[in-house]
Structure formats: C-alpha cells, structure tokens
Amino acid sequence: MLIKKISGFFIHVGYIYLAFTTLVVIGLLFGLIEIIESVLLNNFPLITSKWFYISRGIISIVLIVTWALWTIYSYRKFYQKKLESTEARYQDILENSADAILTIDDNQIIKTWNKGAEQIFEWRKKEIIEQPINKIVPENLDAINKMQSLFKRVKSENYIKNYETELITKQGNVILVQLTQTVIKNELGNIIGSSIIMRDITELRMQNEHMQHSERLSALGHMAAGVAHEVGNPLTAISSIVQLLQRRSKEKFFIDYLQKMRLHINRITKIMRELVDFSRPSSDNMVDVDINNVIESAVGLLKYDAQFRYIKFNLKLEKDLQNIFTNSDNIHQVMINLLLNSAYAMKNVEDPQIDIITRTSKGFISILVEDNGVGMSREIIKRIFEPFFTTKPVGSGTGLGLSVSLGIITKLGGTISVKSELKSGTTFTIRLPIREKINERINFNS
C-alpha cells in the first residue's frame, strides 16, 4: 500500500518520476552486477569476463528500456483513466443540468439532447434526435426562419449570449427562453454545427411583470387617493350649492334638472369613495364583515372599467346575510380577481353576463361567481390554481390571480372551487365559515 502511494506521488510529477526511477534501477542493477563480479568472476579467464561485461551492458539496456516503457505505459494509462473519469463527470453534469443543452449540425438537425431539454420541451431524447430544430420553434418564428438567421449570426460572431426568444413545447405551450449559442469546429477549423444552452425564463419574466404590476397598482392607489381628495372638496361645494338651489327653486323645470345633477354628483361621490377604499392599504385585521357590501363595492369599482363596459351584472344576494368575522380587504381582492377572469373569458361573447350569488348553508356562506364565457377544458381546470399558470398571451397576465385567491381563502379557513365546460361558462364557488367575533376571541384565548 505504501509503495502504491509513493508510486502514485511520483506518477503525479511525471517525467521527474521516470528519470528518478530509471536512476534507481540502474543503481540497483550495477550494484547487483558488481556483487556478482566480485564474488564469482575472480577465478574466470579474461575472455569470459569480457563476454560478461558485454552481456551486462545488453541486459542493462534491455532492463532500462523495459522499465522506461513500462513507466511510460503506466503513466499514460493513469492519465487516460483520469481523463475518462473527468469526461464522464463533465458528461454527467451536462446530461443532468436543469438547463437545456443540445447540439445541432450545420443543417439544423439535433444531434444531442440532455435531460434538462427533455423537462423543458417535453420531447424525449429518442423522439427528437435527428429531427430539425424547427420542432421547437413556433410557426410565427419558423415562418421567418428565425433559427436559421440566428445560426448565421452565430457563424459570423462565433457565439451569441443571453439571447431571448419564444420557443414551443411538445404540447404546444409557448415558453420564453434565454439562450447562449456557440459554434462547433472540426480539426481543420471548419464550422460543423453549434451548441446551445437554453434556460426557461417564463416564470421569471412573469414574476418581474407581477412586481411591476404591483408597483403600478401601488402608484395608482396613491394617485387615486390624491385624485379623490382633490375632487372631493370641490364636489362637496358643488353638492351644497345644488341643494341650496333646490330649496330655493320653485319652478318644476329647474327642480327636475337640479335633482338629476344631484344624482350624478352622488354617483361621482360613490366612485371617489370606492377609489379611496381601493387605495387604502390592506391589513390583517379580522372584523365583522357584510359579504354583500364587499361584493357591491367590488362590482361598483369595476363596472366603470372599460373591460366591463358591456357586461351585465346580476346580483342575487341573500337578504339579511349574517356577518362573518373575516378580512374584508382580502375578500375584496379575491372578488376583483374572479371578476377580472370572468371579463377576460367573455371578451368575444355576445350579451356577456356575470351572476353573483350569496347564500347561507350549514355553517358556511357561499359566494358563486358565474359567467357565460368560453369556459375551460379539464386540463386547464386542473392547473388554474398553479402559480404563474395562465392561458393569456405572454405579457398579458401574471398567472398569479387565482393562486393568490386560493391562498387567501385557504388562510381564512374557507374553500374555493371551479366548475366549467368549454363554451358553457364558468362558476367559481367560495365557501367561508361563519365565525362570530366573540367565538374567535374565545378560540384565541384557549
């Protein structure tokens, strides 16, 4: 074991090992020959001694050459094994990388395909090898030979780094990727293909868009509060003047018009109040909440939005609905999310309508949001509550609305479910437990 360790050390130092061991062998060989000569050859004739010296030289050369060849062979075998181990390690790293790593030849035919590519594009290696790269290129990009033009650019510049483009999975889902492409050359320096490293940045882009959207909403909230304040003061003055004129006017013509003015002023006041409610920061405070009021507030805020201009709201709210101890801001946010989804589903529907129903049953308050939109397939229904999943085009939605809504309702101890069929509309059902404030306090203390 010690000899192997020493030998391994000298192998690491390369030719120093070869020279050192050769000198050791020569020393041992000549020492052995000197011993034989001094003990056995004293009584031999001169001619025998000459042949012995010649034989000694030949044997020494043969042994030294043999030793050198064996050492070189061992040295080569050691580094060959080390090289193979290194190659296997790097191959394992490339094969199991989370990024898609593939190579294509000069004709845009896929030659290698790692596991990361399988996970991102959903194509198995045996399915995609020897297939054209256009298999993962959307039709709109393929039509203008996007990958071919990209490869021409790589040929002229030798590589492209952090290039963003849209590609397509086996299931037809468009994803946003960031790729780095480098040319592959043969021994003569001729370009024979390229290697491509791709990273799926769809979720990252959605996260960034969600952050920007949140920042815009925050800025909008501050602006809305400021606008409501600036408009509110003169609006109060106008309302007071109109009321004064109503009291002093005696002609029915003026009284009717002043009454219409008051109705419009009240409408503006309500819009301003809803803007202030929208801009107010949400809190985690649990209070007694009238669910019907929250729904009416959400509808009142959105019905002036351009998306809801032609949508009819049918509110079927149970009278004298029991208040529940919950977070009104969170319920308001969930309702906004559901209504926005319904509006998107009814963009191309004639006579779009949203029914909102509340009712009490078995210790729960149920909220149903029904639309007559395009509906959803079973595959989409299975994924709608996944973070960042969206059926909207890239840049049109973050895919977080329903995921956030599910988290909110779950945190409040309730449930949210969906029922939908293609071309038959969608119904979201929220069930919230009826909890009174005094009971909640008792639970906290226990």
pLDDT per position as a tens digit, 276-302: 655 555 556 778 889 999 999 888 888
Mean confidence (pLDDT) of the chain: 78
pLDDT digits (tens, 9 = 90+) for 355-406: 999 999 878 899 999 999 988 888 888 888 876 677 766 545 555 678 778 8
Higher pLDDT, 208 or 40: 208
Phi, psi of 341 (to 5 degrees): -65, -40
The structure tokens listed for 442 are 């008792």
> Pick from 266, 233, 263, 262: which is nearest to 247 by CA?
262
Cβ-contact 311, 347 below 8 angstroms: no
Q: Coil, strand, or helix at residue 165? A: strand
pLDDT of residue 188: 86
Residue 343 has pLDDT above 80, yes or no: yes
Q: How far apart are CA 140 and CA 161, in angstroms?
A: 23
Q: For residue 442, what pLDDT is reported? A: 33
Taking the C-alpha atoms of residue 157 and residue 14, their distance in angstroms, rounded to an integer, is 40
Confidence at 443, pLDDT banded by 50, 70, 90:
very low
Measure the CA angle with vertex 288, ends 315 and 409; round to 5°: 65
Query: What does the pLDDT look like over 112-133, one tens digit per residue?
Result: 999 999 999 999 999 999 999 8
Rama region for 417: left / alpha / beta (φ>0; ψ in -120 to 50; rest): beta
- Model pLDDT, residue 410: 85
pLDDT the model gives residue 372: 92
Helix (H, G, I), strand (E, B) or coil at 365: strand
C-alpha span between 399 and 411 (Å, rounded)? 20
The residue assigned the tokens 């040929």 is 155
CA distance 281 to 218: 9
Q: Is 359 in a helix, a strand, or coil?
A: strand
Using pLDDT thresholds of 50, 70 and 90, give the confidence band for residue 244: confident
Mean pLDDT in residue range 312-334: 88
Non-local CB neighbours of 128 within 8 Å, separated by 6+ positions: 110, 113, 117, 121, 135
The mean pLDDT value for 151-179 works out to 87
Residue 321 predicted with pLDDT over 50: yes
Q: How many whole angstroms separate alpha carbon 437 and alpha carbon 201?
A: 46
pLDDT, mean of residues 143-156: 75
Taking CA atoms, 395 is separated from 19, 175, 204, 390, 398, in Å, by: 69, 12, 12, 10, 8
Helices 252-279, 202-248: axis angle to 10 degrees equals 150
Give 285-436's CATH code, choosing from 3.40.50.970, 3.30.565.10, 2.130.10.10, 2.60.40.290.
Answer: 3.30.565.10
* Confidence check: pLDDT of 222 > 50: yes
Q: What is the pLDDT of residues 98-110, one digit of tens each?
A: 899 999 998 889 9
Q: What is the pLDDT of residue 283?
A: 57
In the numeric block, which tokens belong to residue 191?
Answer: 């370009």
Q: For position 109, what pLDDT does the model report? A: 92
Percent of the chain residues past pLDDT 90, beyond the cut: 17
182-188 mean pLDDT = 89
Fold that domain 96-202 belongs to in CATH: Beta-Lactamase (3.30.450)
Exposure string for 307-328, b = 16+ CB within 10 A, e = fewer:
ebeebebeeebeeebebbbbbb
CA distance linking residue 362 with residue 332, whole number of Å: 23
Q: What is the helix, strand, coil percentage profile of the chain, to 5? A: 55, 20, 25
Q: What is the pLDDT of residue 441?
A: 37
pLDDT value of position 86? 79
pLDDT, tens digit, 9 for 90 and up, residues 47-56:
555 666 666 6
Question: Which pLDDT value is given to residue 49?
Answer: 56
Distance CA 297, CA 335 (A): 10
The stretch 76-80 carries a mean pLDDT of 81
Contact present, 323 and 360 (Cβ < 8 Å): no
3-class SS of residue 13? coil
Highest mean pLDDT among 89-103, 133-147, 209-223, 390-404: 89-103
State the pLDDT at residue 445. Answer: 38
Pairing outcome for strands 353-361 and 312-316? parallel
Amino acid sitting at position 105: D
Could you give the CA distance from residue 279 to residue 224 in angstroms, rounded to a whole number? 6
Check residue 42 and give its pLDDT: 57
The per-residue pLDDT for range 190-204, each reduced to its tens digit, is 888 889 999 998 888
pLDDT of residue 444: 33
Q: Is the pLDDT of residue 314 over 90?
A: yes
Q: Across residues 23-29, what is the average pLDDT?
A: 69
Residue 5 scores a pLDDT above 70: no
